[in-house]
Amino acid sequence: VPQLQADVLVIGGGATGAGVAWDAALRGFDVTLVERHDLSQGTSGRFHGLLHSGARYVVKDHDAAVECVEENPIVRRIAADCIEDTGGLFVTTPDDEEAYSERFVEGCRTTGLPVEEIPVAEARRREPRLNPGISRAFAVADASVDVWKTVWALARGVQAHGGRVLPYHAVIDLHRDGDAVTGARVRNELTGEELDIEAGFTLSAVGAWAAQIARMAGVEGVDVVPGKGIMIAMNHRLVNTVINRCTMPADGDILVPIRTVSVIGTTDIHTANPDDLPVTQNEVEQMLDDGERLVPGFRQARALRVWAGVRPLFQDQKAGAVGATRDVTRSHALLDHRERDGIGRFLTITGGKMTTYRLMAEHTVDAMCRQLGVDRPCRTRDERLPDSEGGKHYHLGSRLRARDSELQTEQVICECELISRRRLEETMHRRGTTNLDDLRRSLRLGMGPCQGGFCIYRATGILHGIGRLDGAEASRSLNDFLQERWKGSWPILYGDQLRQARLDDWIFQGLLDVEHLPEAAAA
Amino acid sequence: MRPDAIVVGAGLAGLSAAVRLAEGGARVLVLAKGVGATHLGAGTIDVLGYARGRVERPLDAMDSLPDEHPYGLVGADGVAAAVDWFKRCFAAGPLAPYSYTGWVDENLLLPTAVGAIRPSAVVPETMARGDLRGGARVCMVGFRALKDFHPALLADNLARAPEGVEARSAELDLKPEGREDANSQAFARAFDDPAFRAEFAAQVAGRLSAEERVGLPAVLGLASPHEVWSELEHRLGRPVFEVPTLPPSVPGMRVFATLRDALRRAGGQLILNAVVMGAERRGARVTALRTRVGLREVVHQAEWLVLATGGFPSGGLELDSRWRACEVALGLPVAGVPAPGAERFRPGYFEDHPLARAGVAVDGELRPVAEGGERLLENVLVAGATLAGAVPWKEKSGDGLSLATGFRAAELILAGGNFGRSEARAAAGA
């Protein structure tokens, strides 16, 4: 088995893991990050895209709110290019108790959260589709954040500092030397090859999967309560400001405008297996009803896609029985396994949220430095991520403006998301991937209204044409993508999106007959 | 002019019904929101490609379809009559001698743009040489500027097929008007130009091996496809065939052009951008349609109505977020929709989905019926993809169904009505 050496092995390629790797790399450690799937394919890639102001937590979870208040401006600065400064509104709808708004105002005061009550008429001027029955409106500093861009920027930063980022590398065992973890054996999920990574320190940042990794080090009792939440992306910007219901955190109370869509979330259901997250019809109905409360007519709007994510809510065994997952703290948990379990050079970071990924990373690497007895201060507060050096936020027209000129002269492969052939080929080469779903995450390929109806055949042909795939592999990749699209599509197929799906059926089944490709028959 | 019949929809079903009605002496008005599925499909007349497994003989295999399948409404004879009529439309049409070949008793096996092999019964002459039954040696030729056709992928997949196909590919850098990104329609216009054809033939000639047929994207001309195709066969000295691309469908546009021309010659009228807003009724009869054309509201009265607005993809049927389905133009009930809470779709993309067969149910004379089977409207006939009971994209039956039920709707109306221009009807051989 071939070997690699690293100062620090980071397990997990979500926002937390990438943030930890970036933090450690900036402090001069030689870092290797492994992720069993693609980067940000787990929880990070499956949330609504909200950069919290903290207002959501001011009544219920003071500590979480304070963390958000501190981190929000930092993330806005260091990851500017990944952020759209939408602002947020908390609105009291006719279904919400007026008394909560007073507690909300008080909570904002005690947590130091900047908030401004604005007249209802002003709120409705800003957001004309908002429920006309709202009685109060509060403006806060919510924003939307592109998590794929953020995680890839962190990964590129790590690489620029000499670190390695290895997607599709699953940890199959941790190495122990006496009372210390000394690295891991990983398996390349694409080739099946195994690799030993010898590491001076191992950091587990795998969210809801923390127990599985801890167990490989012989650590038991790391209880992460996976809380499943579904989100639905609507095909339009129904609102341009993040809209929250001014009420105790509950289901379906947030609508986030992000890029060309708006995302409603979410539910919260305790789930046993974080790898199995079915979307139920009840949940979909609930989200649509909740959407109606925020934006009347929501059910007539076009739903594009639904997905489920899993929150890693940590609850140590000693803290008692698990109740409703929403009551478990949203603050993160850092487990020093030397103190807790007598196993050195191994930490687990879990819980938390995208908004506080940087803080979590800082705490984690601080703890590692303490254990190693070195003093290297954190630099992530000030160091901007690649592509965010200019400090300018993304806005809705950024993508079109950046690409408008090339779209006049180049071949456009995905008309929905404005992806040219050159950009597609470059990304195929740079990422070295043959997986259409990886390209989707990197480029947004197939994420627009037609959900890959036109671009996926084209992308498959191009992947094949530049020699990345033979016919059988190309057919498999195409099939996998169609199945992956279907998974996020069928629970919300009605209205215009059903119409679109039927057109796609005509293309893939009627016209191309993908179902009867030789490989499809064998699979 | 007050028409005898209004046909709603300008896809294959609507145009077939309209042309046939007009030929039979009826005054016909076609109202359509836009062009229909002709521009999206392959341009072939797929009658039945899959029933229980791949179908070799479509007419024979119709017996194995479930009773409620709409082919039961027209029968094998009805399908054959419609296809025969369709082929004759081309012989007399503006693109002649461009013609359709093949027959409903036997499927050809044609390559698709991704390199699957698709059974199809009646196909443009320009596609027929792509029949892969008994194996073949082919060279698939595409264009870098045409992103909707990938010859290397096509060839690679064909070569893996059990039919025994030797396939390779070539990609040319020819660009219509120098554009990096040109769709099938732009290429078709370019191929109508003799200079472009000559340049194409010169570039491709040296790259072919002996005994190799040449497969091309279906872009061999919109104005004169027969001339384009036969000239290329002549210049290259070998069989040449078209393979359907992603939409827009050039062969489908030829179908549309041919039927529209036939309609005009038979005295019918076609209005596009006409959206049906509702109907006026007297008892069980629709007496008039309220339509919107641009900003104007126009009411059209007629004795007969053929509804051929398509299914969910065309907007003829709709399903709302509470799982209520309706037929959009007249508000007819939709059969085959699972009850709220029941399963609509299965998790596997290629599985049989419970919603797939939803549509308007009709009686033996194509009149819409309620859930209990009672006829709802006496003078409305439903044709094409609006009908319940088929999974056309899976069965490869959509073209045959649309053509045969559209044709059948016209025959039923002609049989039941007494239309003035009997000499025209006689001349059309009704």
Residues 38-67 of B with CB under 8 A from A: 40-42, 54
Task: Give the distance between the most distant pair of CA atoms in chain A.
Answer: 67
Task: Please list, in sequence order, all residues whose beta carbon lies within 8 angstroms of the beta carbon of residue A15, skipping any fewer than 6 positions away.
Answer: A40, A44, A147, A150, A151, A154, A354, A357
- Residues 307..366 of B with a Cβ closer than 8 Å to A: which? 311-313, 315, 318-323, 341, 344-350, 353
Nearest-angstrom CA–CA distance, A286 and A289: 5
Residue A344 C-alpha, separation from nearest chain B C-alpha, in angstroms: 45
In tens, the pLDDT along A234-244 reads 999 999 999 99
Three-state helix/strand/coil letters over A114-150: CCEEECHHHHHHHCCCCCCCCCEEEEECCEEECHHHH
pLDDT the model gives residue B421:
54
Whether B118 and chain A come into contact, CB under 8 Å, resolves to yes
Gap between the Cα atoms of A434 and A297, Å rounded: 41
- pLDDT value of residue B417: 75
- Predicted local distance difference test score (pLDDT) of residue B231: 98
User: Which residues in chain A touch residue B345, judged by CB atoms under 8 angstroms apart?
Assistant: 490-491, 493
Residues 480-509 of A with CB under 8 A from B: 482-483, 485-487, 490-491, 493-495, 498-499, 502-503, 505-507, 509
Report the pLDDT value the prediction gives residue A467, as an integer from 0 to 100: 79
Residues in chain A closer than 8 A to B147 (CB atoms):
411, 413, 421, 458, 461
pLDDT for B142: 98
User: Would you state the pLDDT for residue B429?
Assistant: 44
pLDDT at A120: 97
Closest CA to B332 of B305, B356, B300: B305
**Cross-chain CB nearest to A409 (options B150, B180, B349):** B180
Asked if B392 and A515 come within 8 Å (Cβ–Cβ), the reply is no
A204 three-state secondary structure? strand
What percent of chain A shows pLDDT beyond 90? 79
- Alpha-carbon span A500 to A66, nearest angstrom: 44
Count CA atoms within 13 Å of residue A511 on its CB side. 30
Give the gap in angstroms from C-alpha B415 to the nearest C-alpha of chain A.
34
CB contact under 8 A, B152 and A465: yes
Helix A471-489 to helix A436-443 angle, to the nearest 10 degrees?
Answer: 60
Our CA-based measurement puts residue A235 at a distance from the nearest CA of chain B, in whole angstroms, of: 15
User: Is A408 within 8 Å of chain B by CB?
Assistant: no
- For A309-377, what is the HEC assignment? EEEEEECCHHHCCCCCHHHCCCCEEEEEHHHHHCCECEEEEEECCHHHHHHHHHHHHHHHHHHHCCCCC
**DSSP alpha helix (H) spans, A175-316:** 210-216, 281-294
Q: What is the pTM of this model?
A: 0.93
DSSP code of A393? P
Per-residue pLDDT of chain B (430 residues; tens, 9 = 90+): 789 999 999 999 999 999 999 999 999 999 999 999 999 999 999 999 999 899 999 999 999 999 999 999 999 999 999 999 999 999 999 999 999 999 999 999 999 999 999 999 999 999 999 999 999 999 999 999 999 999 999 999 999 998 899 999 999 999 999 999 999 999 999 999 999 999 999 999 889 998 899 999 999 999 999 999 999 999 999 999 999 999 999 999 999 999 999 999 999 999 999 999 999 999 999 999 999 998 899 999 999 999 999 999 999 999 999 999 999 999 999 999 998 889 999 999 999 999 999 999 999 999 999 999 999 999 999 999 999 999 999 999 999 999 999 999 999 999 987 776 544 444 444 3
Residue written as tokens 């699957």? B116
Partner B contacted by A5 (CB < 8 A):
no
Q: Distances from the Cα of A8 to the Cαs of A150, A301, A345, A361, B62, in angstroms?
A: 21, 48, 10, 13, 67
**Count H helices, E strands: chain A?**
16, 22
Rounded-to-integer distance, Cα A88 and Cα A257, Å: 10
B360: Cβ contacts below 8 Å, ≥ 6 apart: B307, B317, B327, B332, B333, B334, B335, B368, B382, B386, B387, B388
> What residue type is assigned to position A41 of the chain?
Q
Quote the CA–CA distance of A405 and A395 in Å, as a whole number: 18
Residue linked to tokens 């104007």: B296
* Cβ separation A475–B350 shorter than 8 A: no
Q: Tell me, what DSSP letter sits at residue A208?
A: G
For residue A226, the model assigns a pLDDT of 86
Under 8 Å between Cβ of B111 and B186: no
Contact B153 A510 (CB under 8 A): no
What 3 state SS string does A402-427 have? HHHHHHHHCCEEECCCCEEHHHHHHH
B212 contact partners, CB below 8 Å, separation of at least 6: B137, B138, B139, B238
The distance of B353 to chain A (nearest Cα, Å) reads: 10
Are B318 and A495 in contact (CB < 8 Å)?
yes
* Record: contact B115-A471, CB cut-off 8 A: yes
Looking at residue B143, its amino acid is: F
Cβ–Cβ contact B394 with A under 8 A: yes
Chain B residues inside the 8 Å CB shell of A482:
349
Note whether A411 contacts B315, CB cutoff 8 Å. Answer: no
Express each pLDDT in A356-399 by its tens digit: 999 999 999 999 999 999 999 999 999 999 999 999 999 988 88
The one-digit pLDDT tens for each residue of chain A (523 residues) are: 899 999 999 999 999 999 999 999 999 999 999 999 999 999 999 999 999 999 999 999 999 999 999 999 999 999 999 999 999 999 999 999 999 999 999 999 999 999 999 999 999 999 999 999 999 999 999 999 999 999 999 999 999 999 999 999 999 999 999 999 999 999 999 899 999 999 999 999 999 999 999 999 999 888 888 889 999 999 999 999 999 999 998 888 999 999 999 999 988 888 888 888 889 989 999 999 999 999 999 999 999 999 999 988 877 654 433 333 444 555 788 999 999 999 999 999 998 899 999 999 999 999 999 999 999 999 999 999 999 999 999 998 888 888 888 888 899 999 998 999 999 999 998 888 888 988 998 898 998 888 999 999 999 999 998 877 889 999 999 999 999 999 999 999 999 999 999 999 999 999 999 999 986 544 4
Chain B positions touching A509 (Cβ under 8 A) are: 350, 393-394
Phi, psi of B343 (to 5 degrees): -75, 125
Complex ipTM > 0.90: yes
> Which residue stretches of B160-311 are H helix?
184-191, 194-205, 225-236, 250-265
The H or E element spanning position B237 is: none
CA distance A11 to A13: 7
Q: Do A498 and B312 touch (CB under 8 A)?
A: yes
Beta strands A88-92 and A136-140, pairing class: antiparallel
Pick from A494, A505, A518: CB nearest B320: A494
